[in-house]
Amino acid sequence: MDARGAASFLVNAAQQVCVRSGRHICGVAKLTEEMLARDDMPAEPVVHIIRRYGSHSTEQKRGFAPAKRGTLGGFSAVPYGALIPEEFDNVLASGRCISVDEGLMDTIRMMTTCMATGQAAGIAASIAIRRGLRGMTEVPYAELRQGLLDRQCILFPVGTPGE
């Protein structure tokens, strides 16, 4: 019974408290729904992803998830520019706050993708420090890519379809 004398009960509870999405930067590049729909591979990929959009929630009928969701065939990638804020480029973002359409959160919010964007950000930052660069947009992509490959990060070989 609650304070008014009415019966109340718990309908559902999460197993853990966590945040699925939050604020995103506006990056010099952005992962968009249109990019996934066109099967575009960005020019400077740092993390490969499956082409999925929307949410995996079963609560769609109650309005807790986007009505539009699905998976397309093939792969895409997070572009390096999605980690760099467009207003200042001496920092990098990683994880769920990178530059992405909100409808693609199901694609990038998973721990493996968040860790991989963090790895890319760390390598890019180390290159910038070692070379004395003023901004993250000055990091040579070829060197960043080689740094990812040297650390056995999964990237498709140059020249494969879509890259």
Query: What is the structure's pLDDT at 163?
Result: 43
pLDDT in tens, 24-65: 899 999 998 888 888 778 889 999 888 776 655 555 555 555
22 belongs to a structural domain: no
Q: Is 26 within a domain? A: no
pLDDT > 50? residue 161: no
Band the pLDDT of 162: cuts 50, 70, 90: very low
Angstrom distances, CA of residue 95 to CA of 22, 48, 86, 137: 11, 14, 17, 19
Which tokens in the block code for residue 154?
Answer: 């999964």
Which run of H or E residues covers position 47?
Answer: strand 45-53
- Taking residue 158's Cβ as centre, other Cβ atoms within 10 Å add up to 9
Report if residue 9 sits inside a domain.
Answer: no
Range of the domain at 129: 33-150
How many domains does the chain fold into?
Answer: 1
Per-residue pLDDT tens for 65-105?
A: 555 666 677 788 999 999 999 998 899 999 989 999 887 88
Residue 80 lies in a domain: yes
Asked whether residue 21 is assigned to any structural domain, the reply reads no
Q: Report if residue 106 sits inside a domain.
A: yes
For residue 39 the two structure tokens come to 């099967």
